[in-house]
Homo-oligomer: A and B are copies of this chain.
Amino acid sequence: MNQVRLGIVGVGNMGGAHAKQLLANKINRCVLGAVCDIDPARFTDYPALPQFTTAKKLFKSGKVDAILIATPHYAHPTIGLAAFKAGIHVLSEKPLGVHKADCERFIAGHAGTNLVFSEMFNQRTDPYYIKIREMVRGGELGTIRRINWIITNWFRSEAYYASGGWRATWGGEGGGVLLNQCPHNLDLFQWIFGLPRRVRATCRLGRYHNIEVEDDVTAYMEYATGATAVFITSTGEAPGTNRLEIAGENGKLVYENGVITFTRNAMPTTEFSRTTATLFNAPATTTTPIPLGDNHGGQHNAIVQNFVDAILDGTPLIAPAAEGLNSVELGNAMLYSSLKNKTVELPLDGAAYHRTLKQLVKNSRFTKKEIKPGTASAAEFTKGFNT
């Protein structure tokens, strides 16, 4: 095989954007082999392509070697597992699933196959986050003591939530900002720092919008190393903030307004504290500029390309789907902590969380007024993804 025939399952906002890139030949050695959607009205942009209204028919058709799943979240594992059974490679949009147990089921279904299984964590291709990860994992910051990420630049309007009946409902989406916008940040968080050992969060349901799920989150976390962390997100604030502050033994890193600033201590903090005769002085510092310019990496296309390269050449994945479990577990733990009003120890009890989620779905009395099927303009849509 020297070319991958990729099928896109779900050609709404996100799937449609991926399709457009493929049709513009932005991915080497990959062609859009077919489109699949429950709504045939969405096929008008793809007159020359095979079209399917169920994934089952797509898999049987022999038209694709791999799929990109861009359906509402709940369907990711269901469709992906069926693909594995049909011997088809899978690139799933985030999140991997709505809850931990479903992700585990998805990952277990992949085990033992020779199929490539990747997830659309496009922000892992951003040189800024790659650099921060290197500095944290490579020890340049020393032992990490405190993390503070304010990521509130996910503003969404009421019209956004009204644009799809499934959006921001327990039954349709399984959550709000933690399930839809934040999987990227939660993944970067665990990718850079690993998972904490406990989580305490307050998730406000419909604080800013007429929705039943969370659109505002403040989470406090503790690591086994003793590090503490705060993660704050919202779709209701404007203008939003994206500011990641990392306090380490060797200094402080701040990523904000597109700039990484590292202020390095002349001596590690603990050593200085124990040896100085001064009472109030902190270690001397130097500020190291980390110039990365305007390059935020290949993003979505880079992940699709990497998926294709993994299938054809065995290239290591940037975002192996199994790692997608972590961001779901972290988001689930935040919701669970808030719903139960308690501190949650990790690993999360996936079955208990699933029961809670099912109860929320069952008890939901929420009916959404869907204003319009709503497709955003391309520019607006791209802007909404904070890439």
Cα-based distance from A76 to B381 in the complex (angstroms): 60
Q: Which residues from 258 to 292 on chain A have a C-beta closer than 8 Å to any C-beta of chain B?
A: 263, 265, 269-270, 272-274, 276-283, 285
Given contacts A230-B230, A279-B159, A374-B279, contact A272 B238 (CB under 8 A): yes
Given contacts A148-B232, A216-B228, A239-B252, contact A277 B159 (CB under 8 A): yes
B239→A280 contact, CB < 8 A = no
Q: Which residues from 141 to 166 on chain A have a C-beta closer than 8 Å to any C-beta of chain B?
A: 145-146, 148, 150, 152-153, 155-160, 163
Given contacts A228-B218, A281-B157, contact A208 B273 (CB under 8 A): yes
Given contacts A152-B247, A163-B279, contact A158 B207 (CB under 8 A): no
**How many whole Å from A339's CB to the nearest CB in chain B?**
15
A279→B384 contact, CB < 8 A = yes
Cα-based distance from A276 to B161 in the complex (angstroms): 12
Asked if A77 is at the interface (CB within 8 A of a chain B CB), the reply is: no
B278→A157 contact, CB < 8 A = yes
Range for the number of chain A residues in contact with chain B: 35 or more
Asked if A236 is at the interface (CB within 8 A of a chain B CB), the reply is: yes
| Chain A positions near chain B (C-beta within 8 angstroms) | 145-146, 148, 150, 152-153, 155-160, 163, 200, 202, 204, 207-209, 216, 218, 220, 222, 226, 228, 230, 232, 234, 236-241, 245, 247, 251-252, 263, 265, 269-270, 272-274, 276-283, 285, 374, 376, 380-381, 383-384
Closest 7 CB pairs of A and B: A280-B384, A160-B279, A238-B282, A155-B282, A238-B269, A279-B376, A157-B276
